[in-house]
């Protein structure tokens, strides 16, 4: 992976964690050191299904009702993000409807994400960091984690 692609993928993870995925996930481990950006997450639904109570529990500690070993924690890396971008480049909507329900494309800054991602992957457009927002980072993160858009 070239340096620009690595940086853009790292920025997607950072933007998703710090601004986009908090409404559906819990972050267990997060490193945002340059060149080593990774995050380990699980969905809130998985954690609740394992017996977790968001009001009284710590998701890393077992209780009488909660077994953290039942939670499937997944680590997302820059390579995971690049794989998700390739899905977007192949299929603009990647099998999903955007959160407004009125279009099947993933948008970023009012423009279809596909064109931006193709430019990034081919090296013809390296301004990804300039137009990415928390919504598009959330969508790409979901594609990396689930292979499709699940939440919003």
**What are 78-137's pLDDT values in tens digits?**
999 999 988 888 875 544 544 544 444 555 555 667 777 877 888 776 665 555 678 888
Asked whether residue 152 is assigned to any structural domain, the reply reads no
Which domain covers residue 85, as residue numbers? Answer: 3-146
Asked whether residue 57 is assigned to any structural domain, the reply reads yes
Asked whether residue 68 is assigned to any structural domain, the reply reads yes
User: Per-residue DSSP letters for 56-112?
Assistant: T--TTS--SS--GGGS--EEE-HHHHHHHHHHHHH-TTTT---TTSS-SS-EETTEE
**What is the reported pTM?**
0.80
pLDDT-based confidence at 60, cuts 50/70/90?
low
Identify which has the larger pLDDT, 148 or 102.
148
Asked whether residue 30 is assigned to any structural domain, the reply reads yes
Residue 128 pLDDT: 58
Structural domains of the chain, count: 1
In the chain, what percentage of residues exceed pLDDT 90? 16
Asked whether residue 151 is assigned to any structural domain, the reply reads no
Asked whether residue 102 is assigned to any structural domain, the reply reads yes
């Amino acid at each position: 992976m070239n340096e620009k692609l690595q940086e853009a993928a790292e920025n997607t993870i950072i933007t998703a964690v710090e601004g986009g995925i908090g409404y559906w996930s819990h972050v267990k481990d997060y490193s945002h050191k340059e060149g080593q950006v990774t995050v380990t997450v699980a969905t809130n639904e998985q954690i609740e299904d394992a017996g977790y109570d968001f009001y009284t529990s710590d998701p890393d500690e077992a209780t009488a009702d909660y077994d953290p070993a039942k939670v499937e924690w997944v680590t997302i890396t820059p390579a995971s993000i690049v794989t998700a971008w390739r899905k977007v480049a192949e299929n603009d909507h990647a099998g999903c409807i955007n959160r407004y329900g009125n279009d099947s494309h993933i948008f970023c800054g009012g423009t279809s994400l596909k064109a931006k991602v193709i430019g990034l992957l081919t090296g013809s457009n390296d301004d990804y960091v300039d137009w990415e927002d928390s919504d598009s980072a959330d969508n790409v993160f979901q594609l990396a984690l689930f292979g499709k858009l699940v939440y919003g």
